[in-house]
Amino acid sequence: MKKNEKATDAIISRYKAGRRDDLIPLLQEIQEETGYLSEEAIRKVGKLMGLSTTKIYGLATFYDQFRFTPRGKYHLVVCNGTSCYLNGAGAIVGKIKEELGIEPGETTRDGKFSYELSSCMGGCMHGPILVVNGKYNLKLKPEHVQSIIDMLRKESEKL
Ligand code: FES
């Protein structure tokens, strides 16, 4: 059994069958642990809750926090809260899109990059903020995005 599958089973085992109020917290917990919601995880959650997978997908896609594909080796999070947005987060997102050719929530075909937008990270004075695998880049400008991605590409080639 794969690591993510084991983790998913362990989380599901802590929830009671049929308690639909638990659905979103359960999905959040699985995503937090495994990085995304796999088809298999959704099927298992559906079985526990007595809901069809279609219904769960429908609900989960309503909340834009859920991902259905694994994260890339490098996962970028752009703060899109009001302050960062007013300070140019839109241009940062535009540059990432241009560089990687993907939308928020997607992963590049080579599995190297993914990105998502976040609500306020609580550091508004330092925005716009871009977090790469947990490392914060503050007061970011669109021209920095290119060099960060180039550096990550080079780093991934060395590994
Ligand atoms: S809006 Fe980005 S840190 Fe607050």
Q: Where are the beta strands (DSSP E) in the chain?
A: 74-79, 113-118, 130-132, 135-137
CATH class of 3-62: mainly alpha
User: What is the CA(58)–ligand 1 centre distance, in A?
Assistant: 29
Looking at the CA of residue 85, tell me the nearest atom of ligand 1: 1
pLDDT band at 1 (very low <50, low <70, confident <90, very high): low
Q: Is the CB of 11 under 6 A from ligand 1?
A: no
- For domain 74-158, the question of CATH label 3.40.718.10 is answered with no
* 131 C-beta closer than 6 A to ligand 1: no
CB of 129 within 6 A of ligand 1: the answer is yes
Return the SS3 of 135: strand
Average pLDDT over residues 6-34: 94
How far apart are the CA of 24 and the centre of ligand 1, in A? 25
Which atom of ligand 1 is nearest to 121's Cα? 3
Q: Which two tokens stand for residue 72?
A: 């890339």
Q: In whole angstroms, what is the distance from residue 74 CA to residue 114 CA?
A: 7
Q: How confident is the model at residue 65 (pLDDT cuts 50, 70, 90)?
A: confident
Measured at the CA of 158, the angle between CA 152 and CA 159, to 5 degrees, comes to 95
**Residue 123 clears pLDDT 90, i.e. is over it:** yes
In the predicted structure, residue 64 carries a pLDDT above the cut 80:
no
Note the pLDDT of residue 98: 96
Question: What value does the mean pLDDT take over residues 75-81?
Answer: 96
pLDDT score for 62: 84
CB of 124 shorter than 6 A to ligand 1: yes
Q: What is the mean pLDDT of the segment spanning 119-144?
A: 95
Q: Could you state, in order of their start, the residue ranges of all structural domains in the chain?
A: 3-62, 74-158
Higher pLDDT, 118 or 63: 118
Contacts of residue 138, defined as CB under 8 A and 6 or more positions apart, other chains included, come to 123, 126, 127, 129
Q: Please, which residues have CB within 8 angstroms of residue 61's CB and are 6 or more apart in sequence?
A: none
What is the average per-residue pLDDT within 74-98? 96
The pTM assigned to this predicted structure is: 0.77
- If 0-12 CB within 10 Å is exposed, 13-18 middle and 19+ buried, where does residue 13 land? exposed
Cβ of 79 less than 6 Å from ligand 1: yes
